[in-house]
Amino acid sequence: MFALYSSQRLAIAAVCAAALVVVSSAVALDDPPPEAGRISSISGNVSVQPVTSDDWGQAYPNLPVGPGDRIFTDSDGRAEIQVGQTYVRIGPNSDVTLVDDSAFNINFGIAQGSIRLHSFGLWPRQLLDISTPNGNAEFGNSGDLRVDVLQNDGATVFTNMGQFADITAAGDFRQELNYGQSLELAGSNPVYPQWLQPNGPDDLDSWSQQRDQQLARVVSFQYVSPDIPGAADLDANGDWQPATEYGAVWFPRDVPGDWQPYHYGHWINRDPWGWVWVEDESWGYAPFHYGRWVSYNGRWGWVPGPVNVRPVWSPALVVFAGGVHFGGGVGLSVWFPLGPGEAYRPWYRCSPRYIDQVNITNIREAPRVHVQNTYVNIVNVTNITYINQARGASAMRQDDFASGRSMRTVAVRVDSREMQQARPLQQPNVAPSPRAIVTRPVAHPVPVSTQRPLLINQQGKQIAARPGAAPVAPPVRTEPRIQPLPGRTIVAAPAHQVPIRLGGNQLTVTQGNSYQQQSGQQPVQPTGRPVPPPPNVQQDRSVPPRQEREVVPPQRPAYQPQERPAPPPPSHQVAPQPQNKSQPSDQK
């Protein structure tokens, strides 16, 4: 016998700093990203440098990756970062940063090494950028791009295996890159472009194709939005029971008899969310950052949100509780998972619109669950009965919580009767320790500088690989002689190719290693590289200015080779706003 909070038509007054201020319906500038990255695959030695630290730590599966987090793979290492439906496969000896992650832009920075980036789809009006020391690639829909940053040669090679991409660099350089084309950019300001023959597939490409084929066979996409990272791991680790009174429910396999959610893992602290839960199980990402949990017929099951919306990520869908005591007066941190329909109260700064979206996109309408129009300013949080409060609580000492220790070794047992009297807290009363982000030391020193790499953004400016870095004009470094890249073949420009635009001059390729400049100057070097104009040359007003970031670029025809696996099902709808319904009766 229980009554669901949602069926009582009560919603938590989700109080946070921004919720106390009247804001417009637009996304607040200080809202956290609607998505977070995830280390979805890892092998060999891989290290991570969080945005707020100069220290490196050991990377591990399911580690959330946020704006400014930096990944380095050793010679035996490789890793995959997933952000929504975007997958970045990182090869050995590579230095990669998630520079930015917002509703309008995902920006990866590649300082050295190789990546294969495959995006099956972005949010509406969202653009994806790959910044390198030489130039930037950008697209606004799906894409499949190989990027090789050859640090010793001072060059980057962009190879397009998907839809249209826009390549930009300093000096107003801009070039379309279509399917099957490979373009080298050497230097930074000025930049020296060169068309190349694409190389054949290597281990990184084969691994990326294998991962794509696995995504094409995911059954769980029938029940879970493909924008949820980790949804592909559910097939092999659990079973779906559709058409319950909560909708489709997923039950994990091969877990201990006393298993419960948010009990096997640890807490880390990272901007901009604060405390973030990291689950131990290999499948433990999607069910702990999306949806809700319920004890159903004696088993814990996960209830995802609606399939055809783009869900908002949360650091942990739990309620923190106070008033629970432990022997000796030791301070405890106590939490339990939210049940179906129960509202989530962020403990970090956010807007009322964010509170509504993070709840609505993670709660599915069902016979026992009603989705509210709003989850802000409804009732007092102390009058709520949570269905998991007594049966799903986990606890540890506050110093263990703050240090990121594993629950497996430091869990404290709490009495279920005492939990019935516990009171909800706005946030955990725990101050993070200095190493609350990097909880595992590196296996051996990372062979790169702790200083953030310098990259070229989509406007051709130089930025440091961190969110909010101020763009500056890259210093002028004219290369006296650019050497041909080993193992690369120079080719002529593709037929009907849009001209390369560089400063005040328009350059078109007439031979594989020779450029003709339409201004009549003599631009050809002995190496076949064009001599770019001086940096103070007046901009050609015929060159269209770059669009603002909120504008969607025109749609390009998709190139789908036969051997390419089918992408996950699309998820293009914006979260629906539920309509007011009549008052439902309490469920028994």
**How high is the mean pLDDT of the chain?**
81
Cβ proximity of 261 and 269 under 8 Å = no
Protein fold of 37-83+85-210+453-517: Jelly Rolls (2.60.120)
| Range from 13-17, 108-112, 572-576 that averages highest in pLDDT | 108-112
Residue of 35, 28, 16, 32 whose CA lies nearest to 313: 35
* DSSP letters spanning 17-49: GGGGS---SSPPTTSPPS--EEEEEEES-EEEE
Is 72's pLDDT higher than 70? yes
Comparison of pLDDT for 265 and 575, the residue scoring more = 265
Q: Which of 299-303, 363-367, 404-408, 574-578 has the lowest mean pLDDT?
A: 574-578
Residue 472: both structure tokens together? 């500056």
Q: Which residues pair with 112 in a beta bridge?
A: 95
Q: Which of 84-88, 145-149, 179-183, 325-329 has the lowest mean pLDDT?
A: 325-329
pLDDT for 439: 67
Residue of 178, 128, 136 whose CA lies nearest to 156: 136
Q: Coil, strand or helix: which one is 232?
A: helix
> How are beta strands 105-119 and 127-131 bridged, if at all?
parallel
Which amino acid is present at 173? F
Task: Give the residue-averaged pLDDT of 411-427.
Answer: 83
CA angle 227, 231, 232 (to 5 degrees): 110
Residue 290: both structure tokens together? 């999306």
Q: Give residue-wise pLDDT tens across range 274-294.
A: 999 999 999 999 999 999 999
How is residue 340 annotated by DSSP? T
What are the extents of the domains in the chain? 17-27+227-425, 37-83+85-210+453-517
- Report d(CA 409, CA 439) in Å as an integer: 15
Is 2's pLDDT higher than 60? no
The pTM assigned to this predicted structure is 0.82
Which amino acid is present at 333? S
Peptide bond connecting 190 to the previous residue in cis, omega within 30 degrees of 0: yes
CA 382 distance to own-chain centroid: 34
Cβ proximity of 429 and 398 under 8 Å = yes
Q: Which of 73-77, 299-303, 449-453, 572-576 has the lowest mean pLDDT?
A: 572-576
Q: Give residue-wise pLDDT tens across range 320-365.
A: 988 776 654 568 899 999 999 999 999 999 999 999 999 999 999 9
Cβ proximity of 139 and 547 under 8 Å = no
CA 48 distance to own-chain centroid: 15
- Cα dist from 474 to 452, 457, 478, 517, whole Å: 15, 10, 12, 24
* DSSP letters spanning 107-143: EEEEEEEEEEEEES---TT-EEEEEBSS-EEEESS-E
Comparison of pLDDT for 567 and 397, the residue scoring more = 397
Cβ proximity of 538 and 504 under 8 Å = yes
Residue in the structure block whose two tokens are 């949010």: 123
Q: How confident is the model at residue 172 (pLDDT cuts 50, 70, 90)?
A: very high
**What letters, b where the CB count within 10 A reaches 16 and e where it falls short, cover 327-344?**
eeeeebbbbbbbbbbbbb
Q: Which of 172-176, 422-426, 456-460 has the lowest mean pLDDT?
A: 422-426
Task: Give the residue-averaged pLDDT of 302-325.
Answer: 92
Q: Give residue-wise pLDDT tens across range 482-509.
A: 889 999 999 998 876 655 555 443 444 4
- Report d(CA 177, CA 162) in Å as an integer: 10
Residue in the structure block whose two tokens are 């631009």: 523
The backbone region for 450, taken as left when phi is positive above 0, alpha when psi lies in -120 to 50, beta otherwise, is alpha
How is residue 352 annotated by DSSP? H
Task: Give the residue-averaged pLDDT of 383-411.
Answer: 89
Q: On the CB side of 238, how many CA atoms lie within 13 Å of its CA?
A: 25
pLDDT for 532: 40
Q: Give residue-wise pLDDT tens across range 211-263.
A: 999 999 999 999 999 999 999 999 999 999 999 999 999 999 999 988 999 99
- Cα dist from 343 to 122, 169, 188, 415, 586, whole Å: 27, 46, 50, 24, 17
Q: Give residue-wise pLDDT tens across range 29-61.
A: 589 999 999 999 999 999 999 988 888 999 999
Own/partner contacts of 15-24, CB < 8 Å, gap of 24 or more, are: 15/345, 15/381, 15/426, 16/345, 16/346, 16/347, 16/348, 16/349, 16/350, 16/355, 17/349, 18/349, 18/350, 18/351, 18/352, 18/354, 19/350, 19/351, 19/352, 19/355, 19/376, 23/351, 23/352, 23/353
